[in-house]
Structure 1
Amino acid sequence: MRSWLVCLLAVVVSCSAQHYNRYDNFNADSIIQNERILLAYYKCVMDKGPCTKDGKNFKRVLPETLTTACARCSPKQKLVVRKMLLGIRAKSEPRFHELLDKYDPERVNREALYNFLVTGV
């Protein structure tokens, strides 16, 4: 359940090519497997717990990442983001939707985001 949080944070970090190139080699699988870290990141981005420096950065870029379906991401970052979002969804569908609703409450780009998750484009 917590693994999806770490996935989400990795996605956010991975999507901002200008500011987060250091995450190009991010190991999404290791985060998805660590329930404790995933939950901590989830609580951070959902304003339910404290944030680390990385957590604050994730939280900052998450709205754009979700509402644009990772439009500014490099191809490598898109792979990581997609993997993380799909991992989060697999770990906890309710938390996945809670996250989407928080950062895209109007569902402006939800269809494009789901298309991105299916196709990777």
Structure 2
Amino acid sequence: MRSWLLCVLALAVVVYCSAQHSNRYDNFNADSIIQNERILLAYYKCVMDKGPCTKDGKNFKRVLPETLTTACSRCSPKQKLVVRKLLLGIRVKSEPRFLELLDKYDPQRVNREGLYSFLVTGV
């Protein structure tokens, strides 16, 4: 009985932590990043291994490969909005940097068409 209770408690902690992580960037202000060239460039350098990373930068860098190759399929609607704004912001500011980012994290262009569709439609 005691080991069963410990298993249930451990499962509850895992579910709570994953829920916290999945909602972590729901209220992230992508517009403030896009409007500030210096901050946008710092995030870009982080995810491209060309500069230091903040805690948020490290987290973005960790999820970026899956996000790009699946067109944010596991993202919540709010997260999709944030990802879409950031990617479009990078693309508007510098198409070459945007393409370099895609080539780094999706070199085989596995889902390039799906990613472009996501950027256009948000779905």
TM-score (norm 1): 0.82
Q: What is the alpha-carbon distance in structure 1 between the residues aligned to residue 43 and residue 3 of structure 2?
A: 9
Aligned with residue 23 of structure 2, among 13, 16, 21 = 21
Q: What do residues 66-94 of structure 1 show as CA deviations (whole Å, max 9, x unaligned)?
A: 00000000112112211221111101000
Equivalent residues of 1:6, 1:41 under 8 A apart = no
**1:16 shift after superposition:** 9.5
Deviates more, 1:21-30 or 1:5-14: 5-14
Structure ranking higher on relative contact order (CA contacts 8 Å, 6+ apart): 1
Q: What do residues 20-53 of structure 1 show as CA deviations (whole Å, max 9, x unaligned)?
A: 4121111111110111111111111111111122
**1:14 shift after superposition:** 18
Question: 1:59 aligned to 2:55?
Answer: no
Deviates more, 1:89-98 or 1:26-35: 26-35
Distance 1:61 1:13, change over 3 A: farther
Equivalent residues of 1:17, 1:73 under 8 A apart = no
Q: What is the alpha-carbon distance in structure 1 between the residues aligned to residue 108 and residue 29 of structure 2?
A: 31
CA RMSD, Structure 1 to Structure 2 (Å): 12.7
Equivalent residues of 1:88, 1:96 under 8 A apart = yes
Distance 1:80 1:59, change over 3 A: same
Partner of 2:6: 6
Question: Which stretches in structure 2 are left out of the alignment for 5+ residues?
Answer: none
* Aligned residue-pair number: 121
**1:13 shift after superposition:** 19
Deviates more, 1:55-64 or 1:100-109: 55-64
Aligned with residue 105 of structure 1, among 96, 107, 120 = 107
Instruction: Say which SS state the counterpart of residue 19 (structure 1) adopts.
Output: helix
Instruction: Say which SS state the counterpart of residue 74 (structure 2) adopts.
Output: coil
Distance 1:62 1:47, change over 3 A: same
Question: Which stretches in structure 1 are left out of the alignment for 5+ residues?
Answer: none
Deviates more, 1:41-50 or 1:103-112: 41-50
Instruction: Say which SS state the counterpart of residue 18 (structure 1) adopts.
Output: helix
Deviates more, 1:95-104 or 1:45-54: 45-54
Deviates more, 1:5-14 or 1:105-114: 5-14
**1:8 shift after superposition:** 37
